[in-house]
Amino acid sequence: MRTYRATWGTITVAAAVLSAGAGIIEVGPSSVIAAGLLVAMMGATLGLAWTETDHRWRLVAQWGLWAGVGGVLLVGLPLVLGPWSLPALVALAGGCPPVVERSLVLYRDRHPVGGPAQHLERVDDRALERRWHQTSQQLQHPSTTPTETLRLVQERARLLDEIERRDPAEFAAALVRAGWRGADSSADL
């Protein structure tokens, strides 16, 4: 996802620079600056209202920055792309990393690995590992109910059994690395 974030950010900033240039030429620098600053202030205000984490001010600055970029895009992109500016803005907004990450989480939650309709033998190693990490996060979430916890623990048992079945030696070595077994007890497997 790090590469995707960097690519999306680069494309968005390049579009903003192109839009700013077109806006400065067509409507003047004061209009472009005013639009960017006004929308940046709106974004920072929303960020301030919606965030309650330890990194609140950093998030407020990010919200303001990206909203300012959006304001510049709103002014200049129609001058560059004409009627294609709306689909381009929708694509940039819909493709932003938080939206994509949330969509992936929703998809993976609704299509878990090892569900009743899916046999673990048909799932690739990467999907097994990904689901193992997802179930770890779900178990640690405070809103997980006891019923959901039991279902997750049972799913994790099936995942571990499948991982061990595929590569018993690597599985034993992973247990040793994780501190679950001593190096001398791995020979018993």
Q: What is the pLDDT of residues 46-82, one digit of tens each?
A: 888 887 777 888 888 988 998 999 899 988 989 888 8
Q: Give residue 10's pLDDT.
A: 92
Q: Give the number of other CB atoms < 10 A from CB of residue 172.
A: 19
Question: Number of H helices and number of E strands within the chain?
Answer: 8, 0
Averaged pLDDT, 115-136: 77
Q: What is the pLDDT of residue 41?
A: 93
C-alpha 116/C-alpha 136 separation (Å) is: 20
114 φψ region: left (φ > 0), alpha (ψ -120 to 50), beta (else): left
Which pLDDT score is estimated for 186? 47
**Dihedral angle, C-alpha 158, 162, 168, 169, nearest 10 °:** -100
| pLDDT tops 50 at residue 116 | no
Q: Which residues contact 1 (CB under 8 A, 6 or more apart)?
A: 97, 100, 101
The predicted pLDDT at position 175 comes to 83
* 100 contacts 108 by C-beta, under 8 angstroms: no
